[in-house]
Chains A and B, each alone.
Chain A
Amino acid sequence: MTSVAVLRAGPLLTVQDLGRPGLAHLGVPPSGAADRAALELGNALVGNAPGAAGLEATLVGPTLRFDGGALVAVTGADAGARLDERPLPPGVARVGELLELGPCRGGVRAYVSIRGGVAAESVLGSRSHDQLTGLGPPPLRDGDVLPLGLVTDCHEPLQHEPARRDELVTDCYLRVVPGPRDDWFAPAALEALTRTTWRVSPASNRIGTRLEGPPLERTRQDELLSEGVVTGAIQVPPGGRPILLGPDHPTTGGYPVLAVVVADDLSRAGQLAPGATVQFSIVTSVPIGV
C-alpha cells in the first residue's frame, strides 16, 4: 500500500474530511475541513469521493515524501506548492518525490488531496482531527507516515482545474442572517457589525475566529441558558468582542449569537488569516420553512 511520509509538518497539519455531522446532541462538534470547498475541489482533482480525507495545513504547508506513485492536488490558500520543483496542482508524484508547500497566501489553510485519500483512523465516522475534543487522529508531526486508501474506490479525476477562486483574498466579505439572539443587543449593534471592518485576531483557531474591533453593545448582561449553536455563528461574550464559530465549536453555548454567516460563505470564513480584515453584510430573505 502506498504511503506518505511527513518530513516537516509545519505549525499545524491535521487530517480532515467532512467531519461528524449529526452528533451535536451528544456534544460532538461537526469538525471537518474549515474550507470545505477547497477539500472537495482537491478530491475532485484527484478523483476521490467528495468526502475523502486530505491534509489541512495551517499558515505554513508541510513537506511530504511519497513512497509510491500517487496523484496529488493542492487547493485552498496559495502555498506555492512544488512537486520536485514542478508547480502544482494537480500532479503525479513518483516514488521518493517531495511535495513542498510554503507559507499560505490569500488565506490561512492549504489542502493536500491524494488519490485514494488519507487512511488515518476513523472515529465516529470521520477521520477529522477535532481541536476542541481531541477526537480523530492527532495533529501530524515530523516523521509520521500516513497510509493511503485504495485507488479502486476512485473515479476519473477532474481533467482541468477550474478557474482559481477569486474570493481567496486577504480581505473578505461574509453574508449573515441576523439572530437568533439579536434582541439581546442594542439596535445599533447589528449596524455596527456590518459597518465595522473587523480584524482577525491571532488568537483564532478551528474552534473560533476572534474578531477585533469596537465592542458590540449588549443590552442584557445576564447569562443565556445554554442553547445549540452552528458553525458560522457570531457569538458575543460580555466584553462585546465577537467570536465567529469554526467547525470545532462547542455544540452548545451560553453567549448570545447576534448573527450567523450563511452556509455558502463558511469556506471563505475558514480562510480568515490572523491580521486579515473581514466585513459583514446582512441577508434577510431566508427561506426557513416555518
Chain B
Amino acid sequence: MRVRPAGDRAVLFEVADNAEAVHLARALRARGDLVDVVPGHRTVLAVWEGGDAPRLDGVSVESAPAPAEARLVEIPVRYDGPDLADVARLAGVSPEEVAARHAAGVYTVAFLGFAPGFAYLLGGDELLHVPRLASPRERVPAGSVAVAGPYSAVYPRESPGGWRLLGRSDLVLFDPQRTEPALLAPGDRVRFVAA
C-alpha cells in the first residue's frame, strides 16, 4: 500500500486491486473522523476537515472490519440499445449472444463517480470489454445499460456519455429523496436480467 498526498486535507491510498480498495474504504469509513472516503478503481481518497490531520498510520487493509454478506442486486434490462450491433461486431458474435453473455455475468460495484449514483461495475465476459466511443454522445438516456473497457454501468439520468449502449433499465439508480439515495454501493454484486 502506498500513500500519496492530495493537498493538505486529503491523502490517496494506492492498493493492489479493487477488492482491497473496497475493503480499505470500509475501514476508513468506520473511523468516523473523515469527511469523505472515496474508493476508486485501485485507490481510496480520504478527506478530512480543517484543523489537525487525523492519524492514519495504523490504517491497513488488514485492519478493515469483516465485510457484511455482499448484497446481490438484480437489474432488469431490455437489450435493445443502439450500440448492440456494433458491440456484436467488435466481439465477433451475434447481438443475441452479446445480450446473453452480458446477462450471464456476475458483476461487482467497484466505485461510484462521474454522476450521482453512477456505479462502475467490474466483471463479466471479457469478450464484451470494448473501447468507448471515439466521440461521446451529447445525450445518453437515463437507464441506459452500457459497457466501456472493463466496466459495465447504468446511466442514472440523462447525460453526455461515451460508453456503448446495450439496452435500457427502468430501475431508478439515484433518488435524493430515498434514505439510501444510490441504489448501488461499492462491494455490492450485480446481475443483469434480460427482460
Contacts and interface: CB of A to CB of B under 8 A. Distances in A.
Interface of A: 21-28, 30, 123-124, 132-133, 135, 177-181, 225-230, 232-233, 250-253, 257, 260-263, 283, 286-290
B12 interface: yes
26 contacts: A21-B35, A21-B36, A25-B37, A25-B38, A26-B181, A27-B113, A27-B116, A27-B174, A28-B181, A124-B176, A178-B5, A225-B40, A228-B6, A228-B38, A228-B39, A228-B113, A232-B7, A233-B7, A251-B113, A257-B6, A286-B7, A288-B5, A288-B8, A290-B3, A290-B11, A290-B59
B191 interface: no
Contact of A283 (B8, B12, B39, B114): B8
B165 interface: no
Nearest to B35: A21
B36 A260 contact: no
B38 A24 contact: yes
A252 B53 contact: no
A62 B53 CA distance: 40
A286 B112 CA distance: 29
Given A177-B7, A251-B112, 7 more contacts: A25-B111, A179-B5, A250-B114, A252-B114, A263-B9, A263-B50, A287-B52
B43 A227 contact: yes
A252 B9 CA distance: 17
B115 A227 contact: no
Given A124-B176, A226-B41, A226-B120, A263 B182 contact: no
Interface class of chain A by DSSP: loop
User: Ordered nearest first, which 6 A-B pairs have the shortest CB separation?
Assistant: A228-B45, A252-B113, A228-B38, A260-B7, A227-B40, A180-B4
Contacts of A179: 4-6, 12
Nearest to B6: A180
B44 interface: yes
Nearest to B132: A223
Contacts of B5: 177-180, 260, 286, 288
B72 interface: no
B10 interface: yes
Interface of B: 3-12, 25, 35-45, 47, 50, 52-57, 59, 111-118, 120, 174, 176, 181-182, 186
Nearest to A134: B157
Given A28-B116, A135-B176, A230-B45, A251 B8 contact: no
Contacts of A123: 176
A133 to B, nearest CB: 5
Nearest to B45: A228
B50 A230 contact: no
Contacts of B10: 230, 260
Contact of B111 (A135, A181, A226, A261): A226
Contacts of B35: 21-22
Contacts of B59: 290
Contact of A225 (B9, B41, B45, B181): B41
Contacts of B8: 177, 260, 262-263, 283, 286, 288
B36 A288 contact: no
